[in-house]
Structure 1
Amino acid sequence: MSNKLLGVIDATTYHEDLEELILHRSLAAVPFGGRYRLIDFILSNMVNSGIKSVAIFPKFQYRSLMDHLGSGKNWDLNRKRDGLFFFPSPIIDGSSKGIGSFNHFAANIDFFHRSTQEYALISNCFTVFNMNFKPVLKWHVNSGCDITEIRNNSKSLQMYLVKTSLLMDLIENRDMTGYTCMRDVVTDINHAYKLCHYEYSGYAKQIDSIQAYYETSMNLLKPDVWKQLFLKDQPIYTKVKDEPPTRYLKGAFVRNSMIANGCLIEGNVENSLISRAVKIGKGSTVKNCIIMQKSQIGENCVLESVILDKDVKIEPGTIMIGSVESPYVIRKGTIQGALMKS
């Protein structure tokens, strides 16, 4: 398996409905679950499936993504042979609207020519799931498929398995065929390939809007969902940070929440996800919220159905109330005062 499958992650997607969270970062680098980034799921799935060569193709605001991935050490991809490859897009236009831009791949065609893997798995970067791709590859080969599209509940997950040689043909002949990406191929009723659909029955959610991000995050607090995503034999890896345990001071109260390391909790936290190094002041109530890294909530605040991006400061006495259907999003690095009540 290790020398058969090449991992290709498209990190160029920009969902306008997620604009509040991706103004300063790639969608792949959006924080999730207190200590992860969205790309951690597909990247960990590939590594757990024995894939030892992964190429990442970003386009927008990818500095934080590069910082998160580094050399690939945390995913065991810092190798002398194969490993983790990073290919920023030289193309500014939006000629491709699907996963796997052939123009982007063409600008790095030497990578595919040098690859020794017989098959390639092309995937998006924004699906939260835990899947082993070994059975898919076996099924693909035994079925004699040219292209296998992975689905969940009959809906495309925008993941495609093809022979690397076929992928290179599609890239090199894109001007003649008119195909700009894998979606163009599989949706063309006149294509000449044997297209198969592999149904994945596990938990899988695509993050393409604030509502999807909020709902999927809140689902982590459900034990049945947690057990499907975080498996002992198929762990989700992420960048390791050495931080002290969280401190719960007198008067703190926490119920049904995920609290990462390095936090200081003095207030009440209920049904919420709290990232690393967050401070919640005395007398404050945080309910149904997502609080990202290093945010600070002052004393006597009330936050409900709110998403705080990284490094947000909430001044004492502030009240912010969103809703499950429309959570209140505060942009990275901003300050919210008591006069900003909602």
Structure 2
Amino acid sequence: MRAVGIILAGGNNRRMQALTSKRAVAAMPIASSYRAIDFALSNMTNSHVQRVAVLTQYNARSLDEHLNSAKWWDFGRKQGGLYIFTPTITAENGYWYRGTADAIYQNLDFLKRCHEPYVIITSGDAVYKLDYNKVLEYHIAKKADITVVVKELEDGDDPTRFGTVRMNESARIQEFEEKPMVASSRTISTGIYVLRRRQLIDLVEHCAEEEHYDFVTDILIRYKNLKKIYGYKLSGYWNNISRIDTYYQTNMDFLRPEVRNYFFRELPAVYSKVGDLPPAKYNPGAAVKNCLIGSGSIINGTVEDSVLFKKVFVGNNCVIKNSIILNDVYLGDHTYIENCIVESRGTIRANTRHVGEGEIKVVVEKNERYLI
């Protein structure tokens, strides 16, 4: 592959409420056994990108622990590899990352030492499959300065949550609005970009000179009429988990056979760090219907249309419906959970009832254990 990869995984997201108070969004659990960043990393290795940098900052402890061995994504190699970069105090700079462009600028030495002619930039908080080789081929064929991977939203989805674009008949982007109050287009940017490495270095250095820090606002939008920026349409499944409702819906989507088969049975595969845990155990009296159950879990009660992550204990006569139970949660006997997300490392006392009415309820017990 003629490209180096950059995964932006350092942002603070308050829209996830308590779920990101102690972890990065890229470390959010997905589909009972994965983390959000696994999908971007898997796309990189499946596209034969040999050198990938992950830029972390906010609540990075659990994310760094998840990435402590590159072998799970086949980056344990002599040539290339997986690099984790956090903000570093130097004689010239004492700032945290002030934006996505600034995060790249503070690690510009990494790009200057690379020899690959192109760069693939993506975020760590989206669930999707994509062959970056096809995007790169499209980028070269169009003789583009920057290629943005775009997605046409379905009816009912809110485009104002994203950057919206308008393209002409040749797919050149003519308008780009970041999170508009009123969206004039249902085509949105997925936060995946391809451009030449040398050009990225020049653009980021120019931003730094003018004290501009954001890649979208200060590069894409600012240069949309000066650079040839094209859109590459993504046709498969893509979802961003930047809010409580979209995080919940993304996990619920994996209960649909077509989504589950697309990610887990159709090649290329999605990879993740594997723990030494036994299979889930279903004791006499357990009733499970249309669920994903993580390894190390023990089920005694009734679980329907839910996603349970690793090491979850469901007590006797418990009922769980349409809910997400994160890692290492203990549910006491006679507990009722519906339309909820239960934070990890928590103990839900016996005879407790939590029901989300009208919106998804995030359950965080005061006796929670330290989060991962």
Offset at 1:334? 3.4
Relative to structure 1, the CA distance from residue 211 to residue 120 in structure 2 (aligned partners, 3 Å threshold; closer, same or farther) is same
Relative to structure 1, the CA distance from residue 51 to residue 40 in structure 2 (aligned partners, 3 Å threshold; closer, same or farther) is same
Q: Show the 5 A alignment for 1:212-223.
A: 212-223=246-257
Distance 1:176 1:158 in 2: 24
Question: What secondary structure does 2:16 align onto?
Answer: helix
Offset at 1:257? 0.4
Question: What secondary structure does 1:14 align onto?
Answer: coil
- 1:20 corresponds in structure 2 to 18
Paired residue for 1:241, among 256, 272, 275? 275
Q: Show the 5 A alignment for 1:70-149.
A: 70-90=68-88, 92=95, 95-96=98-99, 101-149=100-148
Per the normalisation by structure 2, the TM-score is: 0.84
Aligned partner of 1:142: which letter?
Answer: A
Per the normalisation by structure 1, the TM-score is: 0.91
Contact 1:310 1:332 in 2 (8 A): no
What value does the CA root-mean-square deviation take over the aligned residues? 1.8
Instruction: Give per-residue Cα distances to partners, 1:75-116, cap 9 Å, x unaligned.
Output: 0112222100011124656743xxxx2222222221111111
- 1:258 corresponds in structure 2 to 292
Relative to structure 1, the CA distance from residue 193 to residue 35 in structure 2 (aligned partners, 3 Å threshold; closer, same or farther) is same
Gaps of 5+ in 2: 89-93, 153-186
Relative to structure 1, the CA distance from residue 155 to residue 190 in structure 2 (aligned partners, 3 Å threshold; closer, same or farther) is closer
Offset at 1:232? 3.5
Distance 2:74 2:224 in 1: 41
Distance 2:307 2:267 in 1: 24
Instruction: Give per-residue Cα distances to partners, 1:245-297, cap 9 Å, x unaligned.
Output: 11111110000001111111110000000111111011110111101111010
Distance 1:291 1:8 in 2: 31
Distance 1:286 1:149 in 2: 41
Q: Show the 5 A alignment for 1:165-314.
A: 165-176=198-209, 179-184=212-217, 185-188=219-222, 191-314=225-348
Contact 1:265 1:281 in 2 (8 A): yes
Question: What secondary structure does 1:173 align onto?
Answer: helix
Contact 1:309 1:329 in 2 (8 A): yes
Paired residue for 1:160, among 180, 190, 193? 193
Contact 2:70 2:81 in 1 (8 A): yes
Contact 1:170 1:179 in 2 (8 A): no
Single out whichever of 266-275 and 18-27 deviates more from structure 2.
Answer: 18-27
Distance 1:314 1:257 in 2: 20
Contact 2:57 2:97 in 1 (8 A): no
Gaps of 5+ in 1: 337-342
Offset at 1:333? 7.3
Relative to structure 1, the CA distance from residue 79 to residue 314 in structure 2 (aligned partners, 3 Å threshold; closer, same or farther) is same
- 2:167 corresponds in structure 1 to none
Contact 2:25 2:242 in 1 (8 A): no
Aligned partner of 2:70: which letter?
Answer: G
Relative to structure 1, the CA distance from residue 14 to residue 39 in structure 2 (aligned partners, 3 Å threshold; closer, same or farther) is same
Contact 1:102 1:170 in 2 (8 A): no
Aligned partner of 2:213: which letter?
Answer: T
